[in-house]
Structure 1
Amino acid sequence: MTDAGIRRQINDLRTALHRQGASTRQIAAVISERLHLNPRVAFRHAVGLSQAQVADLYNRRWPSEHPKTFKQISYWECWQGPGSPASSASARAPSYEDLVRLAALYGCLVDDLLLGPRRAPITTAAGTPWPAEGLSGADASNYADETGHDALITVAILTGEGTTTVRLSRRQFTELLAAGGLVAMLPGTEPVPERGAAYFRQVLSAHQCGHHLIDPAAHITALSRQLGRIEHSRGAVSRADARELRQVQSEYAEHVSWLYRELGHLAACRAWIERAVTWALEAGDTSMVTYMMLRNASIALDQRDPAQAIDLARAAQHAPWQLPPVLQGVAKAYEARGHALTGTVASAELDDATRLIATRSVTSGPAYLRFFGADFADVQRATCYVDAGTPARAVTILQSKITALPVSHHRDRAAYLARLGTAHAADQVPDAAAIAAMGSLGEARRAGSEHVLAELGQIDRVLTTRWPGQENVRQFHDALQSTTAA
Structure 2
Amino acid sequence: MDGAGTLDQIRRLRDRMAGQGATTSQIAATLIAEHDLNPRVAFRHALGLTQAQVADRYNRRWPSMVPKSRKEVSYWECWPGPGNTSSSSSARAPSYEHLCRLAQLYGCWVDDLLFGPRRDHGPAATTIPYQAITDILSNLTASDYAEGPGEDDSVAVTLRAPIGEGSIMVRLSRRQFTELMTASGLAALLPSSVLAEAAAGATSDVASWRQTLAAHQTGHHLLAPHAHITALTTTLADISTARDDAGTELRRQLLQVQAEYAEHIGWLYRECGDLAACGRWAERASKWAQQTGDGALATYMTLRRSTIALHQGDHTRAAQLAHSAHRTDQTGHSIPPALQGIAHLYQARAQAATGTIADRQLDRADELLAAPRQPDDPAFLRFYTPAFGELQRATCYMAAGRPSRAVTILQARLTRLPGIGHRDRALHLARLGAAHAADRAPDAAAIAGLGALTETRRARSLHALTELDRLDSTLSRTWSKQPKVREFHRALQAAASDLERHRT
Q: Which TM-score band (shorter chain)?
A: 0.5 to 0.7
Shift of 1:177: 4.4
Q: Is the 1:183–1:203 Cα contact (8 Å) retained in structure 2?
A: no
Distance 2:353 2:398 in 1: 9
CA contact (8 A) 2:188 2:216 kept: no
Contact 2:446 2:485 in 1 (8 A): yes
- 1:273 aligned partner: 282
CA distance in 2, matches of 1:365, 1:452: 28
> Residue 127 in 1 paired to residue 137 in 2?
no
Is 1:293 aligned to residue 289 of structure 2?
no
2:435 to 405, 410, 423: 423
**Aligned counterparts of 2:223 and 2:417: Cα–Cα separation in 1:** 18
Q: 1:184, 1:474 → 2: CA distance? A: 52
Q: Which residue of 2 aligns with 1:439?
A: 451
CA distance in 2, matches of 1:298, 1:150: 44
CA distance, structure 2, for counterparts of residue 92 and residue 358 of structure 1: 47
Deviates more, 1:267-276 or 1:211-220: 267-276
1:204 maps to amino acid: L
Aligned to 1:247: 256
1:45-93 CA deviation, whole Å, 9 max, x = no partner? xxxxxxxxxxxxxxxxxxx95899xx9xxxxxxxxxx999777674234
Q: Name the CA distance, whole Å, in 2 between partners of 1:175 and 1:288.
A: 23
Asked if the contact 2:279–2:308 (Cα under 8 Å) also holds between the matched residues in 1, the reply is no
The aligned residue for residue 42 of structure 1 is none
d(CA) in 1 for partners of 2:119 and 2:170? Answer: 27
> Where does residue 96 of structure 1 map in the other structure?
125
Residue correspondence of structure 1 range 386-465 to structure 2 within 5 A: 386-465=398-477
Aligned length: 367
Q: Which has the higher contact order (CA 8 A, sep 6+)?
A: 1
Q: Deviations over 1:358-390 (max 9, x none)?
A: 115163311111111111011111111111111
Cα distance in 2 for residues equivalent to 1:350 and 1:183: 46
Q: 1:284 aligns with which of 286, 293, 314?
A: 293
Once the two structures are superposed, the pairs formed by residues 105-144 of structure 1 within 5 Å of their partners are 124-127=140-143
Please state if 1:230 is matched with 2:239: yes
Aligned pairs (5 A) from 1:195-210 = 195-210=204-219
- Counterpart-to-counterpart distance in 1, 2:428 and 2:166: 26
The alpha-carbon deviation at position 483 of structure 1 amounts to 2.6
Aligned to 2:202: 192
Q: Which amino acid aligns with 1:191?
A: G
Deviation at 1:336, TM superposition (A): 0.5
Any conservation in 2 of the 1:342–1:388 contact (CA below 8 Å)? Answer: yes
Q: 1:264: which partner in 2?
A: 273
Change (3 A) 1:85 1:219: farther
Distance 1:154 1:208, change over 3 A: farther
C-alpha change, 1:244 and 1:175, in structure 2 (3 Å) is closer
- TM-score after normalising by structure 2: 0.65
Separation in structure 2 between the aligned mates of residue 153 and residue 305 of structure 1, nearest angstrom: 49
Q: Within 1, Cα distance between the matches of 2:265 and 2:384?
A: 18
Give the 5 Å matches for 1:280-429. Answer: 280-321=289-330, 322-361=334-373, 363-429=375-441
- Counterpart CA distance in 2 for 1:382 and 1:360 is 24
Shift of 1:257: 0.3
Q: Give me the whole-angstrom Cα distance separating, in 2, the residues matched to 1:148 and 1:305.
A: 47
Hey, what does 2:10 align to over in structure 1? none
- 1:125 maps to a residue whose letter is T
1:1-80 to structure 2, matched below 5 A, reads none
Flag the 1:320–1:96 CA change in 2: closer, same or farther, 3 A.
Answer: closer
How far apart are the structure 2 equivalents of 1:245 and 1:442?
A: 40
**SS state of the match for residue 211, structure 1?**
coil
Deviations along 1:23-52, whole A, 9 cap, x unmatched?
xxxxxxxxxxxxxxxxxxxxxxxxxxxxxx
**8 Å contact kept, 1:176–1:182:** no
Aligned CA distance change for structure 1 residues 207 and 66 (closer, same or farther; 3 Å): closer
For the residue of structure 1 that corresponds to 2:383, the secondary structure is coil
Q: 1:466 offset after TM fit, Å?
A: 1.4
CA apart distance, 1:407:
1.7
Q: Counterpart of 1:405 in 2: which secondary structure?
A: coil
Query: Relative to 1, partners in 2 of residues 1:174 and 1:323: Cα closer, same or farther, differing over 3 Å?
Result: closer
Offset of 1:459 from its aligned partner?
0.8
Over the residues paired in the alignment, what is the CA RMSD in angstroms? 3.9
Structure 1 vs Structure 2: percent identity of aligned residues? 43
1:465 partner letter = R
Alpha-carbon deviation of 1:128?
6.9
Mark the CA change 1:386 to 1:65 in structure 2 (over 3 Å): closer, same or farther: closer
Rounded to whole Å, the distance in 2 between the matches of 1:155 and 1:399 is 37
TM-score, length-normalised on structure 1?
A: 0.67
Task: Work out which of the two has the higher radius of gyration on C-alpha atoms and give 1 or 2.
Answer: 2
Shift of residue 460 of structure 1?
0.8
Is the partner of 1:428 in helix, strand or coil?
coil
2:188/2:219 contact within 8 Å kept: no
Taking a change above 3 Å as real, the CA distance of residues 338 and 176 of structure 1, as seen in their structure-2 partners, is same
Conserved? CA contact 1:437–1:456, under 8 Å: yes
Q: 1:349 to 1:240 in 2, by over 3 A?
A: same
Decide which moves more: 173-182 or 329-338: 173-182
